[in-house]
Amino acid sequence: MPADLFLPVRYRPSYSCQHSSTANLQRQDRLGRREWSRIEFQIFSEYDGSPEQGIFMVDGVRMSTGTQVVLVFPPLVETNFGNYYPSTAVLAGVLAGAGVVVDQVDLNEAFAVWLLRAEVLDRLAGGFSPSGDGQPAVQLAALLLRRCRSLLFDSEERHRFRQEAPGPAHLLGMAARGFAMDRDPSLDLDASLKDADGFYGQFFDWAGLAEGLLSTVRLVGISVAAGAQLIPALALAQRVKSARPDIRVVLGGPVFSLMDEHRLGVIVRGIDAVDVIVRFEGEYPLELLVKQGLAGSWQPEVVPGVSCRVGNAVVHVPARPGLRLDDLPFASYAPEILSALAQPDIGILQARGCYWGRCAYCDFVEMYPAGPRYRSRSAARAVEEVAHQLSLCNPWSVAIVTESMPPSFAREFSKRVLSRGLKFRWHSFAMAEPGFSRELLASMAEAGCSWLVVGIETMNDGQLERMNKRARSKDNIAFIRAAADAGIGLKVNIIPDFPSTTYADAMWSLELFDSVRDCIDHVAIYPFQPTRSSALGREPEAYGLLRLDPGQASTSYIANHLGNESNRLEVDDPAMTCDERKVVMAAYTEFARMINARREHAPPTEPVEALAVDVNELAWTVRDGTLHAYNARTRSLHELPGDWANLFEAVRVMGPITVDDLSRLVCSQTLGREIFEQAVRTNLFRHRDPRPAV
């Protein structure tokens, strides 16, 4: 892989040229790759000779030099590595339709590239932990990434970072989790921002976004979709404002939509770099703010759905109903972001809100308070955008963006795709419900549906009823089997510890999931996280939870803070003890590991005669007398006695080791056999027959 792949990322290509139709160009793209080429460019707007005006076609890509707005997707969402999160593309489409020149920057993807720099991996592999908790998994991932990072790029140097893909891509997510900062902004925000400078300062310096903004830029918008992006986004806002005090900085996204006014006020009042926070639907408010910024008439307090400073006060302006979805312009996907991805998705909006909208634990149904809680786009308009986007680019897959696709939309969408003869693969979110008949699932598969993400959560009927889920266990099982029969892959989300779930409930549910394991392609385990903004959060006692006093920390959900810390509700659940909960989570995690690694590893069917180490898939380290080992092929992490390091080293140096070899090393046939069998059970080693092939 060329060394210059790891040069600083610039947020857009930069160039200098004469006023001729052909010129020499030195280009540095978002990956930092530099190249000289001869280009043809066509002027699309009046060009007055200034290097910061004009729009050109450069190597077939529409490039703007009069950029007015930059939209940024910040770190850290490791599950989105290798993907194009659609929020900036949707907003860019709206602004472009209003005549605004927009650039998009995926700093989350750039962060994955930065992680792969040799000096960064060397520090992590040496045991450095940005978060200070010394996670062994981060060190082990870095050790393996140093050996196999070339596998994360295809022959054209495009990213193969998708976390669910076979191979080593998931190691990127493991390494990135050492940088995760999900903090409550109401608790010592200054300290969090200081930590963020330590976590992300070197990355922001390397990316050079704030320092590289063109003088024509008047507004930077930062899209915050996940809790772990909040503090990095605020730190980025400070850097942008420090470099360019004249620029307006606007933040928005689901994290702010679900945040209470107290925490919004803490951010707006405490961080001068943040001019405005947009809550709920952002298209209309952002367009108004951009027009104000370009006109020099800054009055954010008159814009619906924003939080901002007015004098010494913080104002929260009520939202207005969102735009009719069929009236939204098509999303504008940046070619330079798409071209960096080996398997790029593009998102096509289907709905805002959820057609069911009754699940007690879900807070995303709370995000549209000013209008209908569910609005759908027509299937005709969605298919029209699919055809439009396919004419512009060649995505690996199309994501139909929705909380849950209704059967009625799926039927009409599939019918229209087939009637137009469109050929593409697509995926979406769906609920397990009787409306998805075998006939409909077969039609969806014929129309290109390759997989669905389904929030089954649990197979316990009592919990499903208490959480007001649409389906029951029999519906879930019927849906899973019917989708598999139709050839549609399933990614199943599971929450093992819904409120009031007992140990027996959880283990019985796991048995039912295991009964359909052959029909499931991928499993994601989400420990339950109670949130203030959900129906459950407003009345936790009704769901068997014990509300805690201010300052008390939950013992039930202490390890479950995986989402938006600023929206977390402190409660306890007496249905399981802490030890029972740990056993349950371990069992479900192992179930998910087994399903997710199935494509890459099948357990041996013949007796294992030798153990071998593949250094590209196995890494280990010893800390405080404990050996921590990870196998990237089987995706298994183990804690073993520290003296097992001698066995690992012996297998690495000597090659395949039989039980007899091991017995001679430990001077005991019995002990050698016992250690050999334990090693086989860990699934950490390759199982190879030491006899030469005949």
Higher pLDDT, 473 or 547: 473
Tokens of 394: 């060649």
Q: Is 612 in contact with 651 (CB distance < 8 Å)? A: yes
Q: At 113, list the tokens.
A: 């590239």
Q: Which of 174-183, 308-317, 419-428 is least confident?
A: 174-183
Per-residue pLDDT tens over the stretch 40-70 = 233 233 333 333 344 433 333 334 558 999 9
Contact indicator for 561, 571 with CB cutoff of 8 Å:
no
- Given a cut of 80, is residue 28 above it in pLDDT? no
Q: Which helix (H) or strand (E) holds 382?
A: helix 379-392
With contact defined as beta carbons under 8 Å apart, do 565 and 590 qualify? no
Q: Binning pLDDT at 50, 70 and 90, where does residue 614 land?
A: confident
Specify the range with the lowest mean pLDDT, choosing from 277-291, 501-515, 659-673. 659-673
What is the pLDDT, as a whole number, of residue 5? 30
Rounded distance between C-alpha atoms, residue 198 and residue 209, angstroms: 17
Which segment, 161-175, 400-414, 536-550, 607-621, is predicted with the most confidence on average?
400-414
> Strand pairing partners for 374?
353
pLDDT digits (tens, 9 = 90+) for 651-677: 888 878 888 888 888 888 888 888 888
- Average pLDDT score over residue span 240-253: 96
Q: What is the DSSP letter of 531?
A: B
Distances (CA, A) of 65 to 36, 48, 301, 626: 19, 12, 31, 56
- Report the pLDDT value the prediction gives residue 557, as an integer from 0 to 100: 59
3-state helix, strand, coil in the chain (%, to 5): 40, 20, 40
Round the average pLDDT of the chain to a whole number and report it.
Answer: 84
Q: What is the 3-state secondary structure (H, E, C) of 209-268?
A: CHHHCCCCCCEEEEECCCHHHHHHHHHHHHHHHHHCCCCEEEEECHHHHCCCHHHHHHHH
Q: What's the CA gap between 116 and 171, in Å, rounded?
A: 11
User: With 90 as the cut, is the pLDDT of residue 411 above it?
Assistant: yes
> If you average pLDDT over residues 540-550, what whole number do you get?
85
Per-residue pLDDT, 133 = 64
Could you give the percent of the chain with pLDDT greater than 90? 62
User: What Å distances lie between residue 429 and 385, 451, 463, 496, CA to CA?
Assistant: 19, 9, 21, 20
Amino acid (one-letter) located at 542: A
| 356-379 confidence digits (pLDDT tens) | 999 999 877 777 877 788 999 999
**SS3 string of 60-98?**
CEEEECCCCEEEEECCCCHHHCCCCCCHHHHHHHHHHHC
User: Which CATH superfamily is 344-596 part of?
Assistant: Aldolase class I (3.20.20.70)
Tell me how many degrees the CA angle 234-170-614 measures, rounded to the nearest 5: 140
Distances (CA, A) of 339 to 160, 167, 488: 12, 21, 27
Average pLDDT for residues 151-162, to the nearest whole number? 94
Among 158, 169, 206, CA closest to 337: 158
Instruction: Kindly provide the b/e burial profile for residues 622-645, where b requires at least 16 CB atoms within 10 angstroms of the residue's own CB.
Output: beeeebbbbbbbbbbbeebeeebe
Domain 3-112+182-316, CATH: 3.40.50.280
Structure-token pair, residue 479: 């849906």
Report the chain's C-alpha Rg in angstroms.
26
Q: Which pLDDT score, from 0 to 100, does residue 564 have?
A: 52
In which band, very low, low, confident or very high, does the pLDDT at 37 lie, cut at 50, 70 and 90? very low
What's the DSSP call for residue 347? Answer: E
Pairing of strands 636-641, 626-631: antiparallel
What value does the mean pLDDT take over residues 543-557?
A: 72
Region 262-266 average pLDDT: 94
In DSSP terms, which residues pair with 434 in a beta bridge? none
Do 632 and 168 contact (CB within 8 A), yes or no? yes
CA distance 309 to 249: 13
